[in-house]
Every structure is written in structure tokens, then in C-alpha cells.
Structure 1
Amino acid sequence: MRLGRAQSHRPFLDHCRCTGNDWFEHAQVEIKIMHLSGKNISVVGMGKSGLATASFLVTRGAQVLLTDARPEHSLPEVIAGLNPAIELQFDNSAPGKNADLIVLSPGVPVDAPFLDEFRERGIEIIGEIELAFRFNKTPIIAITGSNGKSTVTTLVGNILRADGRTVHVGGNLGTPFIELIEKGTAEFIVLEISSFQLETVTTFKPYVAGILNITPDHLDRHKTSANYHAMKERIATQQSESDYFVANLDAPETVKLSCGKRSQKLFFGAQHEGGDGAYLRNGEIILKFQGREEVICKHQEIAFPLRLLVENALAAIALTAPLNISVSVLADALCNFNGLEHRMEWVRTFNGIDFINDSKATNVGATCKSLLAIEKPIVLMLGGRDKQGDFSAMLPLLKQKVRHLVLFGEARGIIRNFLNGSPASEEADSLEDALKIAVSHAKAGDTVLLAPACASQDMFKNYEERGSLFKTLVNNL
């Protein structure tokens, strides 16, 4: 049975499959950009997003300069794979003096000093998400938040595919948005959007936008929590009355950001319940939408990764509520979800001890969610490169849930000072040593959890490399 809809609303897919004058507002922005042929466009940053952007632009006739602060010898694979029509500039991120448009990669701050002269001259500075949106003709479901974005984005894509919809999934997760534009027709595009990407949007307008949660993160970039909140809010500022905004009732800061938006509101919550949306009630997952209420399934029936962090399941249901998905499809998607690597990933049970890899927990809020999700006593591996996190916010949970704490990486001294001796902790010089210490303190029935609350670049290329090493070490015990 499909959920009912108010008679005043046509099913969304009626709109999605229309063309011409019936197409809702998304097509209007294509006119704003640009006839690209002959334009001088500088793309700053040779990461995945920048490379995809440069390729997109040059195939449309633009004169493209691709810049990066890194030296040429550090980017051999980039050089080998690029369209030869793209001009390259190494050791200097500055755009070309004759730039008609500048497209920043997410890793480049919009307030970088080398951009000042271009701002003064009125040169438009945007990012890859904004550029792609101006060429987009497909309704978008966009997801941001401090934690859970990748899991929810993937799950939403799974739900739509299971319902027979054609869908492209990407953004900050996997394939850049600008590449999805090239992949051909889809009924929906599902995007994970980071705060860095939201710095440079101006007309971006998703049909459904969700802010999962907001906890202090990336303050080394955004400087203040207020700035960080403002960046997250940009995901919904262009929405209209025909769009939907999804907020987390268990995270009041997201509800606050929903105020004053023209879009229709949907909510989700494991602890609180409100109007239309998805909720956990008496051990059951409930969907309320346009006067109907349906039980999707029992909490204990859903897949292990979602059972631990049920708010991710609730968010995905709320985000897809306007799309008229059947209860059976929703239930199957929740029960069959395999989870994502490095996100509350069960590795193995050894000598009665569970080992969980949550290397993607790169901020304090993410680690707190992981601690709350585990019922067994925990030996926690914590550390890495500090992102100006408030580790004191973890203290009540650490005292309540953690049997022993192992600190590693650059931030271990900072964390130690926050802890002030409670709970008990030891320090390690490497991840290998940290795991050895953790195992020595764990007992049968415990969980050894890697949830670092820090970035990984002090010791690793990225959080994936850190998590992969953890898994290798655990499997070699």
C-alpha cells in the first residue's frame, strides 16, 4: 500500500516526468549560466571536484586554467589523465588574471586572501555544486549535517532504487555532482553536501533538503559555531513552498534553522515526535505524512548499522516521504542495508570482544553518538589531528560508558588535558600500539571502539586509511 496524498497535490513523479513549461523552476537556472564557449574560467584545486569541473567546462568550449598550491611532482596521476586543452598551474592556487568566473574546490576557503582582488573586481566566485546546479534538470534530494550524511545519502539512494526509480547518488560522497550531470537521465539526484560546499552556493535549490544534526566541527575553517550553522542553513535558503525541509527533533539546532523557511516541514526523531515525519515509538518505526500513519517495521528488525544509529534510518524515511514510497519497500531497504565502511562497522568478535571501526567519527559529536549506540562496556581508541573540538563535552559519556581510554596521535595531549585524569587513560605512539593497549584492557563482553573524534591527517592520508589499518590489525589478532 502506498501512503495517501492530499487531493490538492499531484504525485511528485507527475512533475518529475514533465517537460517544458510544466517543469518546476529547476530548468530556469540553466539560462543564468552561461554560455561557456570562449569564457576564461579558473578552477582552483586539483582534487576530485576540481578535476571533474575542469573537464566539464573544457568540453563546453571554455578556456580553463586549473590551479593548485601543490607542486607538479606530487600530482602525476592528475597530469596524466587530464584533457590536454586544460591549462595547468602548480605551486600557486591563484586564478588567472583574466578570469571571467572562478570555481573553487571545497577544500579552498572562500575567504582565501588570493581571491580578494577578484572580489573587488566583481568576478563571480562559485563552487562545483553551484555550477552543476545551473545545468541540472533533475529534482534533488540534498543532505547535510555534522554526522551521518554518507549513510543517509546512500540509504535514500537504496530506497529509491528499490522502488524502481532511476537515481544518481554523489556529491561529497563518491561522484561529484558535476559528473552526475553527464551520466544521463535520472528521476532523482541524491547529494551529500558538506559545509565547505555550501560556502559557495547561491541559487542551489533542492526539492528535499535535510539537516541531520549540527555539532561543532570544522571550526578550524569556519572559526565560530555561528558561522558553521549559517553554512549548513544555506542548503535550504532558496527553497520555495513546493519544496520540503527535513529537520531532526532530537537536535533543536536543526529545528531552529527550519524556522522562517518557505518550504514545507518534515521531521524525524528517536526521542521526540511531532508533525509529519518519521519517528521511533514503542520500538516501532512510524511514518506520518499528510494525514496517514504507517508502521514501517520494528526497530530490532532493521540492519545492524541502522539499529545502532536509528536516527539515520528515520532521516532517510522522512527525506523520501514526499515521494510516495510503499511501506514494504521502505521496510526492505532498512532491513537489508549493509552499512558503509568505517562507519560503525563491525569488524569481528575475538575472545568475546567486539571490535567496531568508526574511523569516520572525526568530530566529538560523532564519537558521542557512537558511544550512546553501544550498550556494552567500551574500550575507546581516541585521537588524531585536533579540529578544535570541545572534548569536555564527551566527559559525561566517557565516565558512563568507557572502561578504559587509549589516546593516540597529535591531539592526545590536548585530550588528556580535557580529561584531567578521569576516566583512566593510556597513550600510544601508533595505531598498532593503541590497539595492543586496548586489547590488554578489554574483557569478554566488551567492545573495542575506534571512534577518534579527530581528523586522521597527522598519521594517515585519510580516515579510510586509518580504518583500514585498524581492520587489518584486528583481523590479525
Structure 2
Amino acid sequence: MKRLVVLGGGESGVGTAILGQKKGYEVFVSDFGAIKQHYKDVLTQYTIPWEDNQHTEALILNADVVMKSPGIPDKAPIVKKLVEKGIPVISEIEFAYPYTDAITIGITGSNGKTTTTMLTYHLLKEGGLNVGLGGNIGKSFAWQVAEENYDCYVLELSSFQLDGIVHYKPHIAIITNISPDHLDRYEYKYENYIASKFRITMNQTEDDYLIYDNDDEAISQWLQNNKINAKPIPFSVTKVLKNGAYLNDKTMEININQEEFMMETAQISLEGKHNLKNAMAATSVAQLMRIRKQTIRESLSNFQGVEHRLEKVLKIQNVQYINDSKATNVNATYFALESMTTPTVWIVGGVDKGNDYTELMALVHEKVKAIICLGVENKKIIDAFGNVVDMMVEVDNMRDAVNTAKHIAEKGDTVLLSPACASFDLFENYEDRGRQFKDAVRNL
């Protein structure tokens, strides 16, 4: 019997453990931190042995294969020891992939991947397909492969998940865009991070498709220097494309395999240029999956958006409060600021992942009247924007941030939480940060 060791007792870890057990592996789950009670109960119910707050080497280094949760860096001591011993360390996606015949649609990118994943799932589901949603969101892919029977999956894939693949290939891959993020995990080398994203297409054949942003510099450069096997389907908001998706004045046009689709951009529920690109990518998938055009149109006009991504919370005394907690890097915040149409009180800060704030300068100049720093270490933000805005305040909790914003904001302004940073100094994760923001706004 082969031994599967799962590092990390979260959603992907527990899902992998269940699938592994079902496929006849001897399974052990080990988490260096605490495993949540809910997951402990599930593991106990399946009689899968586990440990937390430690890694017992004797129980780990005898594995035939190890599934590492995406949150664990390659430089973790236990991972280094496994690699030294030549034990394969893979991601949940790689482990689960051989056990399903379903078509998978893999979506990656620095920003927009959750919105594009949710929108693609929405289009396919509304189109009547038997479709699952997983990867970085929702229920773990492995868990669904173990217990469900979907014909296709829409998977949001982070670069960390792609780092752990060997044979996995999506039938349709999407790269929404690439901008510097998580460089702390890539030796601070942007090219390593870019290469990591392009692993999504490395096993694809000419029967598969790669949908990508044709306006993106990093993507275009990589494609010039590297060969792909998949059929390319580009999208652009700046140029007309013979094959792919583009903007023709106020109409989104898509030409794929001699099939044409057109829709007025005003009828698409998501706002902003970046969301038009997300819509182009998702619609390209729907076209390839033969969803009826009328269904695509209806679905694009009734899609509700994603929580914590430019989510309108409340309007109080004619001040609009917007939760963009999911903006964990500078590029995401760029899109948020770009879409602001009123003077903005900007709540920013958290754990900096090697951010360069210079690209925000012009937008901050033009749109931001005050900055509220919400983080343990705000020096970089203060240095960058101290001379650009009239007012800068430091706070150390969400309630103070929202109350301060209320005092500064005037009628017609917007209060925007768009941190451009990770959340781990003051919050559990970006969802916790977003929920605390919404609670504080509702309590004003």
C-alpha cells in the first residue's frame, strides 16, 4: 500500500486525504499549525490519522508521495528534507487530476482570477452544464473528485498550485494578467513568478486552448520567447483581433472557430475596463463549450460579482463605502483606484510583499483626498504618498479606520478599502478583513 502524506490540514489538504483514502492510499495528515475543529471532525469521521502544531519527521519522511498545501513555502524545512530524499511533493490539483475524466478549465493570473472563475462557472452553469467550481475557491477539487460526478470543473489556480504540477493540463487555460505579486516566494525574481504562471499551459496540446490578455506586457513578452502547443485565444481592449475577443467601440466582439458573438458593453453587469477583460475571457470559454448566445448574454447581464472585490457596501450620508479587501497587491488596487469617479478616502496597508507604489502615483494625485494606513508597518506608504495627499492617518484596527474615514469624507465622496497588501498582521485573511470593514460600516 502506497503512503500519502498531506502537509496542511485545511480545505485542500483534507480533500486530498479523503480522495487518497478512497483510492487505496495509507494516508497521514500533518499540519505545523492548528487544524480547525471542523476539519479535525471530518478526518476523524473518515478515520484518517492526523497531527497538528508539529511535523513528526518519522511519519512524514517515509511517504511515497506528499501533497503540500499551497500556503506552505518550498523553503520550509520539512519540504526541503522531502526533496533531498527524492520524495515527490505535488499540489492537490496534480494529485486529483488522474482520478477524473472531467474537462477542466484552469484560470490563473495576478488579478481578476476569482471574478473570471466565478463568471465562467456562472456562464457554464446557466448554460445547463454539470459543472463544479474549485481550486483556490469553494470546495477543494480533490474532495469533489472523491464525492461528486461533474462533467467539467472551473478551477482557480494560484501560482503556488501550479508550482506543484507535473502532468496536470487544463483543456482550456486562462491567464488573466501578470503583475509583480508574491515575489517573496520567488526569490524576488519577477521572471520566476511569470514562468510559474505559464506552467498552466506546459502540458497542453494542440487540442487545448490558451486564453490570455493580449495587452499584457509580461504575457506578450513570454509568448514571443517561448513556444506553446495550445491554440491561442487572445483578448484585448486596445486592438482589433481577427481571432479572439476585442472591443469595437462600445461592443464586445468575440470570434472563435468562425463563431461570432457580440454584446453591448453597457449591458454587462460588471463595471470597469478590467472587468470587461474578465468578461471576454469567461465568454471565450462559454463559446468553446458551446453555450447558447442568448444564455451568455443573460448571464453576463445578471452576474452579481464577487464578495470583497469592489463590493459596494452602503451609502451613508451620500458617502459610498466600497470593500475591495481582495486587493492584496498594487496592481489590484490600481484597478480599484482607476474605477473611482469621486474624491476618495483610501484605506490601505497590511503586510507588504515587496510593493512598489510608484505606479499608483498619478491615480492617487488625481483621485485620493486622504489616506488611512491600516497596518503594523506603514513606513513605505507614508514615504510614498506623504507629500501627495493632504491628509494621512495611521490606525491599528478596522473600527478606527472606518470611523476616521467617516469624519474625513464629505457628501459625494467614496471610502475605499483597497489594501494593496496581504492581511496577516491584523486579520486572519482578506475575507476576515473585508467582513470587519463591512461590520464597521454597518455600525456607523
- Normalised by the shorter chain, which TM-score bucket? over 0.9
1:382-414 Cα deviation digits (max 9, x unpaired): 111212211222212211221221111124222
Name the CA distance, whole Å, in 1 between partners of 2:40 and 2:259. 55
Task: State the SS of the aligned residue for 1:349.
Answer: strand
Residue matched to 2:407: 440
- The equivalent residue for 1:69 is 32
Q: Is the partner of 2:426 in helix, strand or coil?
A: coil
2:43 aligns with 82
More divergent stretch after superposition (279-288 vs 165-174): 279-288
Equivalent residues of 1:44, 1:103 under 8 A apart: yes
Instruction: Give 1:236's match in structure 2, choosing from 191, 194, 201.
Output: 201
Equivalent residue number for residue 397 of structure 1: 363
- The RMSD of aligned alpha carbons is 1.9
Q: Partners in 2 of 1:447 and 1:79 — Cα distance?
A: 43
CA distance in 2, matches of 1:411, 1:331: 46
Instruction: Provide closer, same or farther for how the CA distance between residues 407 and 118 of structure 1 changes in structure 2, counting only shifts above 3 A.
Output: closer
| Structure 2 match to 1:106 | 70
Could you tell which deviates more after superposition, 433-442 or 375-384? Answer: 433-442
Offset from partner CA, 1:31-72 (integer Å, 9 cap, x none): xxxxxxx1112111111111111121123321112111125x
Report SS of the residue matched to 2:383. helix
- Equivalent position amino acid for 2:133 in 1: V
Question: Do the aligned residues in 1 keep the contact of 2:272 with 2:339 (CA within 8 Å)?
Answer: no
- Pairing partner for 2:182 from 218, 229, 236: 218
Asked if structure 1 preserves the Cα contact closer than 8 Å seen for 2:329 and 2:355, the reply is yes
1:347 alignment counterpart: 313
Structure 1 residue identity aligned to 2:2: K
Q: Secondary structure at the match of 1:110?
A: coil
CA distance in 2 between counterparts of 1:278 and 1:472 reads 39
1:469 and 2:432 are equivalent in the alignment: no
The answer for the alignment partner of 1:290 in structure 2 is 257
Residues 305 and 345 in structure 1, CA contact (< 8 A), matched pair in contact too: no
- The residue identity in structure 2 corresponding to 1:379 is V
TM-score of the superposed pair, with normalisation by structure 1: 0.87
2-structure distance, mates of 1:357, 1:396: 22
Partner of 1:46: 9
1:455 matched to 2:418: no
Residues 177, 216 of structure 2: 8 Å contact kept: yes
Residue in structure 2 matching 1:415, options 353, 372, 381:
381
Cross-structure match for 2:210: 245
| C-alpha distance after superposition, 1:135-176 (max 9, x if no partner) | 121111110011111111111111111211111111111111
Identity in percent = 35
For structure 2, list consecutive stretches of 5 or more residues without a partner in the other structure.
none
The equivalences for 1:134-283 within 5 A come to: 134-223=98-187, 224-258=189-223, 259-283=226-250
Asked whether the equivalents of residues 343 and 361 of structure 1 are also in contact (C-alpha less than 8 Å), the reply is yes
In 1, Cα distance between the equivalents of 2:419 and 2:260? 39
Contact residue 361 and residue 367 of structure 1 kept, 8 A: yes
Structure 2 counterpart of 1:369: 335
Q: In structure 2, what residue type is equivalent to 1:388?
A: G
The residue identity in structure 1 corresponding to 2:425 is D
Partner of 2:90, secondary structure, is strand
Structure 2 residue aligned with 1:21: none
Distance 1:387 1:64, change over 3 A: same
Give how far 1:109 is off. 2.0
Residue in 2 aligned with 1:11? none
Q: 1:78 to 1:185 in 2, by over 3 A?
A: closer
Out of 323, 334, 358, the residue aligned to residue 324 of structure 2 is 358
Task: Find the counterpart in structure 1 of residue 291 from structure 2.
Answer: 325
Paired letter, 1:231: S
- The one-letter amino acid of 2:23's match is R
Counterpart Cα distance in 2 of 1:106 and 1:44:
10
Give 3-state SS (helix, strand or coil) of 1:153's partner: helix
CA contact (8 A) 1:171 1:193 kept: yes
5+ residue gaps, structure 1? 1-37
Q: Distance in 2 between matches of 1:101 and 1:308?
A: 40
Is the 2:107–2:117 contact (alpha carbons within 8 Å) kept by the matching residues of 1? yes
2:354 and 2:183 mapped to 1: Cα distance? 6
**Which is further off, 282-291 or 459-468?**
282-291
Partner in structure 2 of residue 91 of structure 1 = 53
The separation in 1 between residues aligned to 2:214 and 2:373, in whole angstroms, is: 33
SS state at 1:66 partner: strand
Looking at structure 2, the residues matched to 119 and 307 of structure 1 have their Cα atoms a distance apart, in angstroms, of: 43
Q: Cα 1:389–1:319, aligned 2, differ >3 Å: closer, same or farther?
A: farther
The DSSP-based 3-state class of the residue aligned with 2:372 is strand
Distance 1:97 1:182 in 2: 26
Tell me which moved more, 321-330 or 234-243: 321-330
Aligned partners of 1:442, 1:475: CA distance in 2, in Å? 16
Partner of residue 79, structure 2: 115
- In the alignment, the residues of structure 2 paired with residue 151 and residue 329 of structure 1 have an alpha-carbon distance, to the nearest angstrom, of 19
Alpha-carbon shift at residue 420 of structure 1 (Å):
4.2
* Per-residue deviation, residues 387-445 of structure 1 (Å, max 9, x unmatched): 22112222122112212211111242221122242123222222222222222222222
Deviations for 1:220-268, whole angstroms, at most 9, x for unmatched residues?
A: 2222211111111101110000100011022122233445101101112
Q: Distance in 2 between matches of 1:457 and 1:272?
A: 40
1:235 is paired with a residue whose SS is: helix
Distance 1:423 1:249 in 2: 34
| Equivalent residues, number | 437
User: Do 2:270 and 2:276's aligned partners in 1 also have CA atoms closer than 8 Å?
Assistant: no
Q: 1:282-324 deviations in whole A, cap 9, x for unaligned?
A: 111211223343322x222221456773222122112333222
TM-score scaled by length of structure 2: 0.93
Contact 2:308 2:434 in 1 (8 A): yes
